[in-house]
Structure 1
Amino acid sequence: MAYNVAHFLAQQAVAQPEAAAVRAPVGHAPDGTIRYAERSFAELEAEAASTAHYFAAAGIRRGSRVLLMVRPGLDLIRIVFALFKMGAVPIVIDPGMGLRKFLRCVRHSQPSALVGIAPAIWIARLFRPSFRGVGIKIGVGAGFEKEIGRFKRQGAFEVVDSAADELAAILFTSGSTGPAKGVCYAHGMFLAQVEAIRRQYGIQPGEVDLPMLPVFALFNPALGMCTVVPDMNPSRPATVEPAQIVRAIQQNLVTNSFGSPALWTKIARYCERESITLPSVRRILMAGAPVPPALMAQMRAIIPQGEIHTPYGATEALPVSSISASEVLEQTAARTQLGEGTCVGCPLPEVSVRIIEPVEAAIADIADVRDLPQGAIGEIIARGPSVTRGYDQLPQADASSKIADGAAHWHRMGDMGWLDGEGRLWFCGRKVERVLTETGAMYTDCCEAIFNAHPQVFRSALIDLGAGARELWSSRKSLHFPGRRLRARSLSARWSSWRRAMR
């Protein structure tokens, strides 16, 4: 069986060679229409092959760890598929986590090559200690296009025969709920994710997707969907221009889109204000935070021919379950307002979910867990073909988050929840954020929903203040690196320049 997802791109290049695979914005016409650089599936496959030949000539090999510091869009897609073809391992780290955390992740992942835009190459030179093992640096820009062009005459690049458990990529968690960790994805897990998404949402070749989370664009060539790159900074949803997103949907007849509730809230308000509907949209996927039922109701009116879905999962296990807006609004929203938690739907086929008694220590074997009865709130664990086996070189994190079950394993989601009589999973909040009192535990999603239902409350938060309140003081400090001393203000400006370039 072919596990490497790069095979899908070659298949689409044969099945629909002239169909658009990627449209990346390059400016605007005087009337406001967005101009796009477009690649068909045949062109994208050819460019991915040329890119793989170029990388091989530069010294990248099967198993090489390659740090990507590239803008979301055409370059990212063709580079990732080139690396997949070679059996090299792309490393993706979110620059939104800040410079210190970013450099820590680079040091830990130990890449041997860097592919990035010009400011990324500059950062690698400035902070050599963090990039010590990087022997190959490839800049992405005008020169990159010329290099790819030089290798076009070499034709196709044969996809390596990757094993199901062979390392395919390292994707770092955001670090929002703890230290960022590199999640190891095997080729078989990527394949399982693609098939699960295709089946769950009925995605068909020829559809058009506007992914407002860059990593989801990487699935589209495998699904036969055209990727329309949005003109936005996905790490800063508050800065998105909803008019640009709506224009892109209308102009490209987008059928599918993924984004956070924060993004869709801005888009929904704009559409309501301008009396706009989006009849081409068949489905919207919202994830990254609990989706308010009120937002679902707003969006249903805006996409009259479509449905809203909220998949549940994590970087380590995605997707675990999913629920539609119709089911939420008709069956579960009222229960959420009463404090029962947020229903995230039934587990997907081939995914198993259990609710266990929460413990703080590591759990070595599934025989050591205590399952809780239906309706009882406990710790959520999941098992399935798209559940990752571990983190990159973090045995302690593996021990605290994974539970062995013979040849398989379970992932501890870090969330609290319960299962109802219909097998649906209800999310109650993060395990570390629950408040333990003398009368029992309190859960963020359950408590906050009750207060948020009050007409004079916009947003609430359940917080454990502990024994007493503490004041946090901050001060501007100098940052020290071997052989140099940089003022925080100067460093911040330089880091920001790269982040702006990545938008």
Structure 2
Amino acid sequence: MLLPIPFFIFRNMNANLFALFESRFPADRSACCIETHDGLYYSWDDLDRATAKMANLLAALKLPEGARVAVQVEKSPEALFLYLATLRAGYIYLPLNTAYQEAEIDYFVGNAEPAVVVCSSANFGWVSKVAFRHGTKHVFTLDDDRSGSLLSRAAAQPDRFATVARGADELAAILYTSGTTGRSKGAMLTHGNLASNAKTLHAYWGWRSDDVLLHMLPIFHVHGLFVASHGALLAGAKMIWAPKLDMAQILKFLPRCTVMMGVPTYYVRMVQEPRFDDDTCRRMRLFVSGSAPLLMETFDAFRERTGHTILERYGMSETVMLVSNPYDAQDGERIGGTVGKALPGVSVRVVDGDGKPCAAGEIGNVEVRGPNVFKGYWRMPEKTQEEFTADGWFKTGDVGRFGGAIVSQAGERKVPDDYLTIVGRSKDLIISGGYNVYPKEIESFIDEMPGVAESAVIGVPHADFGEAVVAVVVGKPGASLDALSLIGGLKGRIANFKVPKRVHVVDELPRNTMGKVQKNVLRQQFGVL
């Protein structure tokens, strides 16, 4: 017979994400937690004391319950500590892209109404005006050289702090989506959302306490803040911390590392570097790529150069990670062009326009559910309801298929029926002459053509067809691409309605800070035939 659990045990449980990390700190708190690119070392005890000081500072401000702390600063260990301190103090963290300008910050601060805003000293003049205009009472500065008013004020605070108790369903962070169509939406992530995903990835990717993570990603985004940092923190593993992609630092630090996470651009640069080889990767056990599609050419070239197969995965601001190619070979192989299988505890389905399941190989809308799926959009109950089905599945807005085949220079390869391939975003769907055209499919054919480095396919208004297919193509160094020849090369390989009506050859594609091609920018540039 099961005995009831006493109430005082429930009362003493703390689902605060920081409490989970704290429980996994190594026994030796003097061990190195973060080593920076410029030779600084932060121990686990340093992390504990620094977050305690910052948490005490936030507590001393007497902020209201559920207060938001908005942060737009350059990457530094102290910026990570501020995130952890916000959790520890029981408040809600709101990271903001460092590329955002005044009009964008004005919207985010006005929408989220943070009680605290932290910015760089260089931006303090205009950020503080925006913040005070929207009723924010506290504005601090934090710079990547360990200076700023936040650290000055925190230095006087005690270095011990009892982590505030939080329930699994209480908010830990709000992440604003990129907002390529309409206003950005604030995805509300709970302590339980983030903890469940961190623990799942810890097990599925085989994190160990003796791992060393090369951390070169920004920390205002899911990939760098939640996937990479949470992985190391939960494992009690060391991080080597660099502000951004730098090949000299990769060549210097990677031989000491076991895990690296990056966007596709990182791996393209690594393959292009003559000094990068299998010896550089001698201790590595895992390379992860995400946030944007990885070209098959890069996937194959990296494996040929190093002997390592990049692990591709799929996630969103609203869900953190959903799907991953296997880490353990016993769970299956890593297949380029796919994002792999649903993570343990996560459900993924592909459905047609009527919500009916698609057969293997059929393209449809990707929907998900699980403990990692966000609570909803900040102050947008109608939008939240709209983005969930009646039976509780979140509509990702992505288009994909299970199974099917991947086409590459090596030929066509069948994909297992439990592997997901993302075809594109539903908003990028082109309807030409009544036919659905999925840009990713056409891009895969163009990218395999001689002299092509990469491509992006968009739909533009057309008087006869409603929309016409247009391709924007980047050539490889030294290649001379002819638009008419590219169009001719596609005819006979794909249906005529999929063949681009026009091809534009450019030097590079516009991308955001996470490497995603900005198709909204391309539509503005090439939206007229």
Q: TM-score range by the shorter chain?
A: 0.7 to 0.9
TM-score in terms of structure 1 length: 0.78
2:186/2:377 contact within 8 Å kept:
yes
Q: Which residue matches 2:30? A: 18
Counterpart of 1:64, as a letter, is A
Match of 1:426, as an amino acid?
T
- 2:210 pairs, out of 184, 194, 206, with 206
One of 150, 167, 184 as aligned partner of 2:156: 150
Q: Is 1:373 paired with 2:375?
A: no
Whole-Å separation in 2 of the counterparts to 1:317 and 1:128: 29
Contact 1:24 1:36 (8 Å CA) reproduced:
yes
1:248 aligns to 2:248 (yes or no): no
Q: Deviations over 1:37-61 (max 9, x none)?
A: 2111122111111211122123335
1:400 aligned residue: 386
The SS at the match of 2:441 is helix
**Residue 184 of structure 1 pairs with residue 196 of structure 2:** no
Matched, 1:313 2:315: yes
* C-alpha distance in structure 2 between counterparts of 1:206 and 1:326, whole Å: 18
User: Aligned in 2, Cα 1:451/1:52: closer, same or farther, shift over 3 Å?
Assistant: same
User: In the aligned structure 2, how far is the partner of 1:230 from the partner of 1:331?
Assistant: 28
Picking from 163, 173, 177, the partner of 1:173 is 177
Tell me the SS of whatever aligns to 2:59: helix
> Residue type of the partner of 2:421?
W
What amino acid does structure 1 have at the position aligned with 2:137? Answer: G
For 2:199, which of 195, 199, 205 is the aligned residue? 195
- Determine helix, strand or coil for the equivalent of 2:340: strand
CA distance in 2, matches of 1:269, 1:115: 38
Question: What is the distance in 2 between the residues matched to 1:462 and 1:135?
Answer: 46
Please give the alpha-carbon distance, in whole angstroms, between the structure 2 residues aligned to 1:24 and 1:446.
41
1:352 equivalenced with 2:324 (yes/no): no
CA 1:254–1:174 in 2, change beyond 3 Å: closer, same or farther? farther
In structure 1, the partner of 2:402 is 419
For the structure 1 residues 394 and 439, does the alpha-carbon distance in structure 2 shift closer, same or farther, using more than 3 Å as the test?
Answer: closer
Question: CA offsets per residue over residues 135-159 of structure 1, 9 Å max, x none?
Answer: 112233255444333223xx42111
* 1:257 correspondence with 2:226: no
Partner SS state of residue 15, structure 1: coil
Within the candidate set 460, 463, 466, 1:465 is matched to 460
Contact 2:367 2:394 (8 Å CA) reproduced: yes
User: What is the identity percentage for the equivalent residue pairs of Structure 1 and Structure 2?
Assistant: 23
Please state which structure has a larger fraction of its residues in helix.
1
1:16 alignment partner, SS class: coil
The residue correspondences of 1:103-182 to structure 2 (distance < 5 A) are 103-127=106-130, 131-140=133-142, 141=147, 143-152=149-158, 155-176=159-180, 179-182=183-186
Displacement after TM superposition at 1:357 (Å): 1.6
User: Distance in 1 between the 2:166 and 2:174 partners?
Assistant: 16
Amino acid at match of 1:194: A
The residue matched to 1:189 in structure 2 has which SS? Answer: helix
Which of residues 57, 60, 66 is equivalent to 2:60? 57
3-state SS of 1:458 partner: strand
Structure 1 counterpart SS, 2:396: strand
Instruction: Identify the match of residue 299 of structure 1 among 298, 302, 307.
Output: 302
**What SS class does the counterpart of residue 413 from structure 1 fall into?**
strand
1:270 corresponds in structure 2 to 273
Offset, 1:351: 0.8
Distance 1:326 1:18, change over 3 A: closer
Which residue identity lines up with residue 30 of structure 2 in the other structure? E
Match of 1:497 in 2: none
| Residues 365, 395 of structure 2: 8 Å contact kept | yes
The match for 1:88 among 87, 91, 96 is 91
- Report how far residue 167 of structure 1 moved: 0.8
Alpha-carbon distance, 1:356 to partner: 1.4
SS of aligned partner of 2:164: coil
Deviation at 1:62, TM superposition (A): 4.3
Which residue of structure 1 lines up, in the alignment, with residue 40 of structure 2?
37
Q: CA RMSD in A?
A: 2.8
Which secondary structure state, in structure 2, belongs to the residue aligned with residue 52 of structure 1?
A: helix
Q: Is the 2:312–2:338 contact (alpha carbons within 8 Å) kept by the matching residues of 1? A: no
In the alignment, is residue 452 of structure 1 matched against residue 447 of structure 2? yes
* Residue equivalent to 1:383: 369
Following the alignment from structure 1 to structure 2, what is the Cα–Cα distance between the partners of residues 96 and 442?
33
The residue identity in structure 2 corresponding to 1:393 is R
Asked if 1 retains the 8 angstrom alpha-carbon contact of 2:117 and 2:131, the reply is no
1:101 aligns with 2:107: no
Instruction: Give the structure 1 partner of residue 240 of structure 2.
Output: 228
> 2: CA distance between counterparts of 1:62 and 1:226?
33
2:523 aligned partner: none
Higher relative contact order (CA 8 A, sep 6+): 1
Say if 1:39 and 1:325 are closer, same or farther in 2 by CA, change over 3 A.
Answer: closer
Q: How has the CA–CA distance of structure 1 residues 275 and 354 changed in structure 2, closer, same or farther, with 3 Å as cutoff?
A: closer
Match of 2:50 among 41, 47, 51: 47
How many Å separate the matches in 1 of 2:274 and 2:385? 47
**What's the offset of the Cα at 1:104?**
1.2
Give me the whole-angstrom Cα distance separating, in 2, the residues matched to 1:84 and 1:332.
37
- Does the 8 Å contact 2:33/2:43 carry over to 1? yes
1:277–1:301 contact (8 Å) kept in structure 2? no
SS of 2:14 mapped into structure 1: coil
**How far apart in 2 are the matches of 1:287 and 1:385?**
21
- Quote the offset at 1:301 in angstroms: 4.4
Distance 2:369 2:276 in 1: 44
Residues 1:75 and 2:75 are matched in the alignment: no
Matched AA of 1:225: A
In the aligned structure 2, how far is the partner of 1:308 from the partner of 1:379? 26
Aligned 8 A contact 1:72 1:229 in 2: no
Q: Please state how far the C-alpha of 1:185 moved relative to its aligned partner.
A: 0.6
Partner of 1:107, secondary structure, is: helix
Cα offset, 1:326, TM superposition = 11
CA distance in 1, matches of 2:265, 2:190: 31
